[in-house]
Structure formats: C-alpha cells, structure tokens
Amino acid sequence: MSRDVAPRLKYPKPSLIYSTFLPALQGAQSKMAASEANSCIYLDDTPKKIKEKINKYAFSGGRDTREEHRKFGGDCAVDTSFQFLRFFLDDDERLEEIREQYTSGAMLSGQLKAIAIETVQGIVSELQTRRKAISDDVVREFTTPRKLGYDF
C-alpha cells in the first residue's frame, strides 16, 4: 500500500532488498574472518590460490566414501562449492543440472569443486582487470564533493 501512496505524497516508493550471505569456505556454520585467511576468497587472490582454497578448505556436502556418494548423493544445502555456484553461475538451467547430478551421486565433490573453481576464478580475474583500469583521475572524479540535485 505504501508504494501506492508514497508518490501521491511526493515521496519515493519504498523498496526492499532481499539478500543472503555468501558462506565461508568452511561452511555456513562458520564465518568469514580477516584473521583467518583461508575462510574466504579475496579479490586479489591468484587463480592458483583460489583453486587451492576451494580444493582444500571448501566444506563438502559429499559422503565419506565414493561408493556412499554414488549411492546416496551429495547435499547441496551444505556444500560450499554449490552455494558459490548459486551466487556466481549465470545459467540457472546449468545450476539445476549440476544440482540434480550432485544429489543423485552422478557428480562427485571433486567435479563440483572444479566447476566452482572455474566459475570463481573467472569472476575474480574479471574484477581484477576492471580494478587495474581505475586510475587516480577516476577516483578523484567520483570522490570530488559536488551538489546533488534531488527533486523530492
């Protein structure tokens, strides 16, 4: 109702941003911390470091043995690699395909981690490239105080 009334009172429409946190590499039960370098992936991590962190520290929803995993499948709800893909993989159909394969046992934890590694490496390298393109002039332009012309 407030979205209907606000414009008549010359106020902007209220909005809500729904968001969830990206889990720490050790799983949702732990938190990312600057004091624990292996709890998260930093934007300045190299592709090699990203691969090492995901392979070594990412909590897996897989079973204890390959045979159990093939029989019972993995748990995407607790698997950090899958959670990363939920945030970073653009193709929803591919994500659903991965979920089905992992929960059925057709895909192993190592295979899921490999997909997550490739996806995260691509995003981080793109951000690093964009970050290098920012010059002092660009920073100065965005941080220079100026009058903002709001009409409400």
Beta bridge partners of 24: 27
pLDDT-based confidence at residue 89 (cuts at 50, 70, 90): very high
Q: Where are the domains of the chain?
A: 41-135
CATH number for the domain whose boundaries are 41-135: 1.10.240.10
The answer to whether 117 and 45 have CB atoms below 8 angstroms apart is: no
Say yes or no to pLDDT of 143 above 90.
yes
- What band does 136 get if pLDDT is binned at 50, 70 and 90? very high
pLDDT digits (tens, 9 = 90+) for 7-54: 888 888 888 777 888 888 988 777 777 778 888 999 999 999 999 999
Q: Worst-scoring range by mean pLDDT, 11-20, 71-80, 87-96, 133-142?
A: 11-20
**Per-residue exposure over 122-134, b if at least 16 CB sit within 10 Å of its own CB, e if not:** ebbeeeeeeeeee
Residue ranges of alpha helices (H) inside the chain are 2-5, 47-57, 66-72, 80-88, 92-104, 109-132, 136-143
- pLDDT for residue 152: 67
Q: What is the pLDDT of residue 34?
A: 75
Q: Which of 124, 74, 77, 81 is nearest to 102 (CA)?
A: 74
pLDDT number for residue 147: 86
With a cut of 90, say whether residue 4 has pLDDT above it.
no
